[in-house]
């Protein structure tokens, strides 16, 4: 099984992060876990790279952060999608799908599905 280094693709990691936050606010640990659950072993995100990516998204106004209390009663920084981030997620998802389909048409044999 091939492992994709998600951090090598800034755009890909961003898309993953935005997607994880679509259903509500999460802190860094939760985000890590959610990605692991969704992608399984096939997609490994270097944990250290998670935070710069989150902070950049925050800087660009795509996500917002506030301090709250975690389920273990610790102070944690929670991230949530902003309206701007939601719009970006929608657009990037569409273009990602388009991209995958286009690559698939070239790479896959006729009849073979993803």
Partner 1 sequence: MIGMRGEGGKRDLRAIDEEVRFHIEGRVEELMAEGLSREEARRRAMDAFGDVDRVRADLADIGAERARKRRRGELAHGVVRDFRVGTRRLLRSPGYALVALSTLALGVAASVAMFTVVNAVVLRPLPYPEPDRLVRLWPSTSMNISLSREIAERMPSVRSATGISHWGLTLTGEGSADVLDAAVVDAGYFEVFGVRPTLGRPFTPEETVPGRSDVVLLGYDTWRSRFGADPGVVGRRIQLSEYGHTSREVIGVMPAGHQTLDQESDVWVPLALPAGTGFLADSTWYLHELVARLAPGATVERASSEVRSLADRLRNEYTGRFEDDAVASASVVGLLDSVVGDSGRMLWTLLAAVGLVLLIACGNLANLLLARGSGRRRELAVQAAMGASRSRLVVQQLAESAIVAVLGGGMGLLLAIALLDVVRVAEASGLPRVAGLAVDGRVLVFALGITACSLLAFGLLPALRATRPGLRDDLASGGRGTGVARGAHRLNRVLVGGQIAMATTLSIAAALVLSSFARLSSVDPGIDTSDVVAIEILPPADRYSGEGYVTYYRNLLERLRALPGLTSLGGIHILPFTLRNWSFPYLAEGQTPNADEPLPSANFRMVTPGYFAAVDQPLVAGRDVADTDLEGSPRVLLVNRSFAEMLWPGQDAVGRELRVYGSLPHRVVGVVGDVHQFALDRPVEPEMYVPLAQWTRGGSYMHLVLEAPRAPELVPAARHIIEQVDPNVPVTGVRSLDDALGETLARRRFIMLVLVTFGGLALVLGGIGVYGVMSHLVGARLPDFGLRMALGASPGGVLREALRSGLAPAVAGLVAGLLAALAAARVITSLLYDVRAVDLATCATVAALLLGVATLASWLPARRAARADPLTVLRAD
Strand order in the sheet with 63-69: 26-27, 75-81, 63-69
Judged by beta carbon, residue 73 or residue 105, the one nearer partner 1 is 73
Asked if 67 and 76 count as a contact pair (C-beta separation under 8 A), the reply is yes
Give dist(CA 83, CA 10) in Å, integer: 21
In the chain, how long is the greatest CA-to-CA distance? 54
Distance in Å, CB of 99 to partner 1, minimum: 27
Q: Which residues bind partner 1 (CB under 8 A)?
A: 27-29, 32, 46-49, 51-52, 55-56, 58-59, 67, 70, 72, 74-77
Judged by beta carbon, residue 38 or residue 94, the one nearer partner 1 is 38
Judged by beta carbon, residue 3 or residue 105, the one nearer partner 1 is 3
């Amino acid at each position: 099984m091939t492992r994709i280094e998600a951090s090598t693709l800034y755009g890909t990691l961003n898309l993953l992060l935005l997607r994880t936050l679509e259903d509500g606010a999460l802190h860094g640990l939760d985000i890590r876990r959610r990605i692991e659950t969704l992608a399984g072993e096939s997609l490994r995100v270097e944990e250290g790279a998670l935070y710069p990516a989150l902070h950049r998204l925050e800087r660009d106004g795509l996500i917002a952060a506030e301090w709250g209390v975690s389920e273990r009663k610790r102070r944690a920084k929670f991230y949530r999608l902003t309206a701007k981030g939601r719009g970006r997620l929608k657009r990037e998802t569409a273009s990602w799908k388009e991209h995958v389909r286009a690559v698939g048409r070239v790479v896959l044999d006729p009849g073979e599905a993803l």
